[in-house]
Structure 1
Amino acid sequence: MKLNIYQIDAFTNQLFSGNPAAVVPLENWLPDETLQNIAAENNLAETAFYIPTEAGFHIRWFTPFLEVELCGHATLASAYVIFNIQGYEGDLIKFESLSGELTVLCKDNWLTLNFPVDQYHIAVPPPALMEGLRDAAILEVYKGKTDYMVVLDTEAEVRDLDFDIIVLSTIPARGIIITAPGDEVDFVSRFFAPQSGVDEDPVTGSAHTTLIPYWAEKLEKTDLRAKQLSKRGGFLKCDLDGDRVNIGGQARLYLSGQIETD
């Protein structure tokens, strides 16, 4: 059996930047083992699979090691494939997912994800967090549904962060968000998820379900601009809308091909 596969650079308008995701459209679900094996073979942070439904599509996301409940950049990449390669008619896609209904709006060459906000609270940092960040000048620590979020004072501190990824991998969480006010944007971030097989994620849409409500309250504004300061980098247009967040980005097709399966 042959399956189409696409690799999309998400949250960027330039190739070789943003966050690469693999997208595999399906007509029906394959066994979970097969989906996981494809994701492991791709060896990207995320591989998205989706099937058509009466209401739109059902989407699932896999790292090389496990299935996750929410992924922003692979959802954006999937929407890019549906709109630009599969010729979807209309400007709004509805996805059924483990995180409920998600939508993606296509307008003026931007794809805007609509996701539920994360529920986060002030947390006592676990010892491995302090050790793994090598005594960075931490201002605040929060714990969301799946991630810790660490607030630093400046963009430079986030960019030049000294960390021990082995120690961070022992923290019982999906990952660790590091954030601070931006110099030219409202806020910046980095995201580490060694527990999920991704040492540093280039651009993490799902982390912005925590970042957007935090910075909206902190900066007293709902319309925000953000950068993720990984080596590849990415730019996001963000908006807080009640208990939902809008996360806008662009995307580029890098690769298309076929998978050979038994």
Structure 2
Amino acid sequence: MKLTLFQIDAFTNQLFSGNPAAICPLEAWLEDDKMQKIAAENNLAETAFFVKNGGQYDIRWFTPTVEVDLCGHATLAAAFVLYHQLGEVTPEILFYSHRSGHLRVAKEGNMLTLNFPVDQIHDIDFDWGMFKGLAIPAKEVLKGKTDYLFVYENERQVADMKPDFFEIAKLKARGIIITAPGDEVDFVSRFFGPQSGIDEDPVTGSAHTTLIPYWSNKLNKSQLTAKQLSARGGNLACELLGDRVYISGECVLYMVGEICV
């Protein structure tokens, strides 16, 4: 069987930056094990598979080691493929995930906007004496559906953080987000997910379902600008609207290929 595979750089307008995702359109679902093996072979943070189902596209996301509940940058990249490679003309694409429900992506010019549900986050007591994954204790720790959120004083602390991935992997979570107010944007972040096979994710759309409600409340504003401080970097325009978040960015095509499975 031959399948078309697209590789897209998401949340950027420049090649070799943002977050790369592999996108594999399917006529029908493959076996879970085969999709996981394709994702492992791609060795990117995420590989997304989708199947057209009436007026929507069912979508699933795999890291090199596990299937995940939600992935923002690969959903953005999937919409980019549909619009720019597969002839989709509707102003908004409806995706459906059996793990995260309905997800929408709207197109306006070169900008694509994710419409995702907000994460439910709450403060927790965190034992820094038992955790050696980060050299500097956070001033605040919260927990969402799948991730920890560690809040720091300033951008420099986030940028300079040297994580111990072996220790981070011991936490029972998809991964951890570290964040702080930005110098030139409203907030900055990094995402570490060795538990999911991704030591550091370049730009994590799904993490912003946690970050946007947190910073919207702290800064008392619904529209926010964000930057992820990975080596590749990525820029996001964000908005909180009720129980949904809007996360906007651009995408760039890197590769169109064919795989034989």
Q: Which moved more, 1:52-61 or 1:232-241?
A: 52-61
Task: Name the CA shift for 1:128/1:25 in 2 (closer, same or farther; >3 Å).
Answer: farther
Task: Name the CA shift for 1:239/1:129 in 2 (closer, same or farther; >3 Å).
Answer: farther
SS at match of 2:132: helix
Report runs of 4+ in structure 1 exceeding 3 Å deviation.
Answer: 126-130
The amino acid of 1:229's aligned partner reads L
Task: In structure 1, list runs of 5 or more residues that go unmatched.
Answer: none
Which residue in 2 is equivalent to 1:102? 103
Which residue in 2 is equivalent to 1:18? 18
CA distance in 2 between counterparts of 1:85 and 1:189 reads: 31
The amino acid of 1:19's aligned partner reads N
**Pairwise mapping of residues 1-262 of structure 1 onto structure 2 (< 5 A)?**
1-97=1-97, 98-127=99-128, 130-134=131-135, 136-261=136-261
CA distance in 2 between counterparts of 1:27 and 1:168 reads: 38
Q: Which moved more, 1:183-192 or 1:118-127?
A: 118-127
Give RMSD over aligned pairs: 1.0
CA distance in 1 between counterparts of 2:257 and 2:161 reads: 38
CA distance in 1 between counterparts of 2:27 and 2:92 reads: 20
- Deviations along 1:35-55, one digit per CA (max 9) or x if unpaired, are 111001101110000000112
Q: Structure 1 residue 162: deviation in Å?
A: 2.5
The normalised TM-score by structure 2 is 0.98
CA distance in 2 between counterparts of 1:55 and 1:106 reads: 17
CA distance in 2 between counterparts of 1:214 and 1:78 reads: 27
> Does the 8 Å contact 2:131/2:167 carry over to 1?
no
Q: Structure 1 residue 125: deviation in Å?
A: 1.9
CA distance in 1 between counterparts of 2:162 and 2:50 reads: 38
Task: Name the CA shift for 1:175/1:129 in 2 (closer, same or farther; >3 Å).
Answer: farther
CA distance in 1 between counterparts of 2:205 and 2:127 reads: 25
CA distance in 1 between counterparts of 2:149 and 2:215 reads: 12
Q: Structure 1 residue 130: deviation in Å?
A: 3.7
CA distance in 1 between counterparts of 2:131 and 2:236 reads: 28
> Does the 8 Å contact 1:5/1:257 carry over to 2?
yes
CA distance in 1 between counterparts of 2:210 and 2:201 reads: 16
CA distance in 2 between counterparts of 1:181 and 1:141 reads: 15
